[in-house]
Structure 1
């Protein structure tokens, strides 16, 4: 019973999605057609790829290199935040945070009197959420929306480019609020990268993208990539977050079942009839249940794909539960500085609200 309790309490979103899926079966008839298997298989392939890439130490290599170029606290925070922004485009927001946050926190422990430590950590999380919105595979909600609406590559990048432009603008402005103090020169050991392994993983990553972008059938490309990655390193198969995959499956089932309830279906459809209402409503829903479940829940009830895309990506800002990546970042910071949890939450909320308001004003002129 203790193991069962731990299993369900260590990942509350997984447990919540499981409960909702069970409840939804009382309102509709379960069907495998409700599950988007392309999203599940593509996500599995990408998770395996990212785990192998992470273990190779590529992010750590670039992080240490960028730190060598940092002469002030502002440049140190700016460099790590930019790396978070760029790496999350390819390696997803949660992986960027899981990899870079410990590096950042280890570095700042060397400078006890350094100011803006919490602000740097918060901006790292914000940058990961924003950067991951540029590619379909950068975060789970984009992978889902890209597949669900059968978006063309051109349409997707037109939308994500708007997010990219505004994100870079807001991040550059935020750097001006970081105090510019000198830091002593550090001599860190830069890990060596195994080039043959890096080349092999790059080829596998490109192969997976052929399935994600529907250049080749995903049910042909992704299984081959998974087999090759398993042969490359069998240990990574047991290190994958399978609860995330099951969370998606449970939400697919729940949405499929609830969609059969005419009253509920009509109510949700009424809230997402225009682009502006879809944008603001999806942001609001994301603040309560996080942006990934929000995308899965809303998509079947609206044709406003562009507004929904912008809404759930911007909706990752705001509350600590607006994105799973936010919770990951908070958990890591708390491990290093347990006595600063309250200060972190206060600064995190303040900074995220400012960013969110900035995006709302920006998109108000576009929608």
Structure 2
């Protein structure tokens, strides 16, 4: 019981969200019955399932096997960093940004057992990479799903309109990665052998992973989650006790806080003026609003005033960079890292990336669509 409560007691970010929610509740008219509807429960169910499945694979010890092979397969830190960033960007295009992080971040954490690597910096760049890569496809992230369903572009058409920005930002990020990681030889720790791994737990987790993703696609997420939970309850109960359940409460608190924030009179009046802004103003509004309430809620709000245009799609995806709330993927990556310093270091790279994406993205938009 103590191990379950400890994350909640020591989670300063969760405490901050609760305090913010209580303050907002003093100034916003709402009913308690409205709060459950403010939470995106499909997202919570998806995260819950992924938390259990990733912990299952991690507990099997197979990430240690892959980590050792990665360390042995690359000679220099820059090569390894470029590989992980490219992998994060690629996986996020068709597995979604959060799934890509649930695969790569635990793998990256396992690398420190075998070598002296800047693990925190690698995770930061993986978070930036999934934001850049996931913007390419309609299924890469939640805001793209919303824009695709509300718009007229087909699946291929959506990819085509996002391709210039995605390609530009991924290339920019790879260049930044090459600059921020030295061509320093990877120094491997002296280890006798790779620890044994549990084949049964790995195969069960991998099979459940496929079944859970299939259940999500068939809108049977709650049944998929129940299958995962019951299987681990029978097969490896220790996994359920070692999961950071406070992450789910953090997301629930974020959804409630965003709901209360958007009911402030100032926010409501600003949204009515959005359609009267010039294209540049709408671009900055969408990216800026994403910084405060995250790009998925920002997309939902702005779709009530603005059409699901290319401009809106580019802006809210660019808004995933910058401040931590810009994208929920940022929060997932940094929480999994379990490093207090990483929260500050993240912004040393994400804020310059936001500025670069805003300036170059707007110039690219004008060149392609305003010509």
TM over 0.5: yes
**CA apart distance, 1:20:** 4.0
Q: Which residue of 1 aligns with 2:186?
A: 183
Q: Structure 2 residue aligned with 1:92, among 97, 113, 123?
A: 97
Q: Which residue of 2 aligns with 1:23?
A: 27
Q: Structure 1 residue aligned with 2:218, among 205, 210, 220?
A: 210
Query: SS of the residue aligned with 2:320?
Result: coil
Matches of 1:142 and 1:42, distance apart in 2: 16
On the 8 A contact 1:92/1:139 being kept in 2, the answer is yes
Q: Does 1:312 align with 2:320?
A: no
**CA apart distance, 1:288:** 3.9
Q: Which residue of 2 aligns with 1:216?
A: none
Matches of 1:149 and 1:30, distance apart in 2: 33
Give runs of aligned pairs for residues 218-237 of structure 1, distance below 5 A: 221-234=220-233, 235=240
Q: Which residue of 2 aligns with 1:300?
A: 304
**CA apart distance, 1:244:** 1.2
Q: Which residue of 1 aligns with 2:237?
A: none
Matches of 1:168 and 1:227, distance apart in 2: 37
Matches of 2:149 and 2:114, distance apart in 1: 40
- Structure 1: segments with no counterpart, 5+ residues: 212-220
CA, structure 1 residues 150+196, in 2 after alignment: closer, same or farther (shift >3 Å)? farther
CA, structure 1 residues 326+135, in 2 after alignment: closer, same or farther (shift >3 Å)? same
Q: Does 1:54 align with 2:54?
A: yes
Q: Which residue of 2 aligns with 1:363?
A: 365
Q: Which residue of 1 aligns with 2:3?
A: none
On the 8 A contact 1:282/1:294 being kept in 2, the answer is yes
Query: SS of the residue aligned with 2:75?
Result: coil
**CA apart distance, 1:147:** 6.2
On the 8 A contact 1:204/1:225 being kept in 2, the answer is yes
CA, structure 1 residues 345+333, in 2 after alignment: closer, same or farther (shift >3 Å)? farther
TM-score, scaled to structure 1: 0.70
On the 8 A contact 1:70/1:76 being kept in 2, the answer is yes
Q: Structure 1 residue aligned with 2:276, among 265, 270, 274?
A: 270
CA RMSD of aligned residues (A): 4.5
Query: SS of the residue aligned with 2:322?
Result: coil
On the 8 A contact 1:97/1:128 being kept in 2, the answer is no
Q: Which residue of 1 aligns with 2:258?
A: 251
Matches of 2:15 and 2:148, distance apart in 1: 26
TM-score, scaled to structure 2: 0.69
CA, structure 1 residues 233+260, in 2 after alignment: closer, same or farther (shift >3 Å)? farther
**CA apart distance, 1:55:** 1.4
Q: Which residue of 1 aligns with 2:42?
A: 42
Task: Give aligned pairs, total.
Answer: 342
- Alignment deviations for residues 271-318 of structure 1 (CA, whole Å, 9 cap, x no partner): 4x64x5433321122234443443343232211343222211111223
CA, structure 1 residues 70+130, in 2 after alignment: closer, same or farther (shift >3 Å)? same
CA, structure 1 residues 25+354, in 2 after alignment: closer, same or farther (shift >3 Å)? same
Q: Does 1:200 align with 2:202?
A: no
Matches of 1:270 and 1:30, distance apart in 2: 34
Matches of 1:105 and 1:202, distance apart in 2: 28
CA, structure 1 residues 250+159, in 2 after alignment: closer, same or farther (shift >3 Å)? farther
- Structure 2: segments with no counterpart, 5+ residues: 1-6, 234-239
On the 8 A contact 1:140/1:292 being kept in 2, the answer is yes
CA, structure 1 residues 345+227, in 2 after alignment: closer, same or farther (shift >3 Å)? closer
